Structure 1
Amino acid sequence: MTKVVEDDIHFRILRILEQHPEISQRELAGEVGIALGKVNYVLNALTDKGLVKIRNFRNSQNKLRYAYVLTPAGLSKRAELTSVFLRRKMAEYDALKAEIEDLKRETSKAKSTAGRRS
């Protein structure tokens, strides 16, 4: 897995956990679009790095439910990954916008050339 893809997954997971710490791994997998086993692996890695703390719901009927809480280091990492993600998406947007403009010019040129032949 490339660093960009790994950072993307970490960013998406940290962002979701910040908003919904009670989310299940299965729900998280669906939100991020990755396998459940991969979510488990990433959560363990984020926990090992000290970015996420896993806590049991004490008053829950289902004692297997957990809350995934971002640590201060996790919040800082999420902010860093957000900045990187945003810069990359803006560059992709600019490239796509330029490609669209090129295609519009090609289409206009092709229409005007076709119109002169008629």
Structure 2
Amino acid sequence: MSAPQDPDQRVHLELMRLLEAHPEYSQRQLSRALGVSLGKAHYLLRALLDKGLVKAQNFQRSERKLGYLYVLTPAGGKRKAQLMRSFLVRKEHEYEQLQREIAELRAQLDSERPTP
């Protein structure tokens, strides 16, 4: 299984996780939570909507007359799980590499220590 190297895949995963937790978020709230511009949040959300991974439903709120709930579709849930697995595999690989690098650096330091 290939890891999501595409930055948009990583952000799509973050967005899908965020939408699961907060389907009522506006695009402005999503952009803030993701740390991206409002235009980028719209672009990312539109891509998920166009792929059928998310659907928008109208709802009424007291502070706004009309808003949307962004809900993952069954296909969106499957895609989120795929992205999470892929992301986890990549992070586990990075963690193992980092552990090896730390061990090598410690061994190098130990070998360079002056002996009394």
TM-score, length-normalised on structure 2?
0.85
The one of 70, 73, 84 equivalent to 1:71 is 73
Query: How far has the Cα of 1:100 moved from its partner?
Result: 1.1
Identical-pair percentage: 44
Query: How far has the Cα of 1:56 moved from its partner?
Result: 2.3
Equivalences, count: 113
C-alpha contact (below 8 Å) 1:51/1:71 kept by paired residues: yes
Query: How far has the Cα of 1:19 moved from its partner?
Result: 1.3
Q: Which has the higher contact order (CA 8 A, sep 6+)?
A: 2
Pair member with larger Rg: 1
Q: Name the amino acid aligned to 2:79.
A: K
TM-score, length-normalised on structure 1?
0.84
Alignment of 1:1-118 (within 5 A): 4-110=6-112, 112=113, 115-116=114-115
Distance (whole Å) between structure 1 residues aligned to residue 37 and residue 8 of structure 2: 14
Unaligned stretches of 5+ residues in structure 1: none
Structure having the larger proportion of residues in helix: 1
Distance (whole Å) between structure 2 residues aligned to residue 104 and residue 5 of structure 1: 33
Deviates more, 1:43-52 or 1:97-106: 97-106
Unaligned stretches of 5+ residues in structure 2: none
**RMSD (CA atoms):** 1.9
